[in-house]
Structure 1
């Protein structure tokens, strides 16, 4: 692929954030929307990017997620903003569940100053982070540990989660499709996430902009099953209407 410097800059920006709208790219590059659309089409034709309505994202498989380290650095700034926005809304002295994901790990870091938390998780990274907070009691689900990201999955984890009913579930997800379904890649992970959703009085979804229009294989839930969505950019179409129809409160994390 013979790309010019502007297209290389465009590609690097999308890879850093995971996804961007055409308007954002035009503003960043200081060019017209028509120019961006031509560049995007060129990069999409070469397989470097994937287009969706109003924007573009890095290509992803529908059957296998990115590696944990790749996901940690992908849109890390946006995830940190989301985490701080979530933490500002989490009250002291409450019970939480956090599932597997780099966004929930960012949220755990943002909760290190909270008092009186009782946290149940199937994510050993979350448990390690929050164990540094002496005001937080961490309860870890039993089950099979996935070596690639230290997530705990399987029937034992499902059975463990069923014992509890918490104030808030803080969940991450791999993709939100245009029909309003929340999807992930590992059915064993999804089974635990579904149980977490069922055993929380409120469900808050934390998902950066790269998750919109991202396809994955296994359905975990629908937007109608969550109460709040925290993200780092205004969602593209058709998500504003889907969120309104489902009665989901949208929180777009601003720069601090």
Structure 2
């Protein structure tokens, strides 16, 4: 029988696949009481991972992302493994775009041991981390600073990014549809990410397993526009097929 943490993870994956699960069906599946399932669902709803409905739980809104503070701690160990793997594929003295996101912030931390990097970013958290390294050159995009995550969006940010052609674009994402569509919640943020993709010689997408099959309203692009996906678990079969059809590389950070 799964422990509490494993059961809640499995409940979350089940709801992501089905869109909705009843308390009764979950209690039967996991051989626990309905009261136990209600506690599980309440915990997942407090973390904004699920939404309570009468008799069960479904997915949260596809138009609003989780709070930044929640995303900072969610799957943190997996994000750090992914970040170290991405950093291994970045040579010293490279030029890099890094966009908004908690996973890309972990990548920035993992790059601190590199030498001579040139970084253009629309993420003030990333800029603050990397600007302290004397041999790094950090360029910050102008534009509107969002209070919730210190990300910079808007036309000024896009205009600055379009002035460069860099070696690597490192981007995060809110969701990857199983057909390979890249999804996010914020139209302005997506436009900046699209500019990064268009102006990078190689594009690395860093996304943990919770992004597979996750719904979000705004279409960013498709996996055929990236060069490699860095994640912490093998993707579901349809997404794996989409990556192979597009001849894109897949790197999975093994558990320690």
Structure-1 separation of matches of 2:165 and 2:203: 12
Alignment-derived partner of residue 172 in structure 2: 172
Q: Deviations over 1:148-197 (max 9, x none)?
A: 00000011111111100000000000000022110100100001010010
Q: Give the structure 2 partner of residue 38 of structure 1.
A: 29
Q: Distance in 2 between matches of 1:175 and 1:202?
A: 20
Paired position in structure 2 for 1:23: none
Deviations 1:73-109 (A, max 9, x none): 0000000000000111100011000000000000000
Q: CA deviation at 1:19?
A: 5.0
1:88 equivalenced with 2:76 (yes/no): no
Shift of 1:7: 6.9
Does residue 1:105 correspond to 2:132, yes or no? Answer: no
Structure-1-length-normalised TM-score: 0.82
Supply the RMSD in Å over aligned alpha carbons: 2.9
Q: Indicate the larger mover: 161-170 or 127-136.
A: 127-136
Cross-structure match for 1:119: 119
Aligned partners of 1:243, 1:85: CA distance in 2, in Å? 19
Name the CA distance, whole Å, in 1 between partners of 2:29 and 2:133: 50
TM-score, length-scaled by structure 2 = 0.82
Aligned-pair CA distance for 1:132: 2.3
The reply to whether residue 155 of structure 1 matches residue 151 of structure 2 is: no
Q: Match for residue 10 of structure 1? A: 6
The answer (yes or no) to whether the contact 1:114–1:135 under 8 Å persists in 2 is no
Paired residues of 1:19 and 1:58 also in contact (CA < 8 A): no
- SS of equivalent residue, structure 2 residue 132: coil
Whole-angstrom distance in 1 between the partners of 2:254 and 2:201: 27
Which consecutive residues of structure 1, in runs of 5 or more, have no partner in the other structure?
Answer: 21-34, 51-56
Contact 2:81–2:253 (Cα < 8 Å) also in 1: yes
In the alignment, structure 2 segments of 5+ residues that lack a partner are 15-25, 51-56
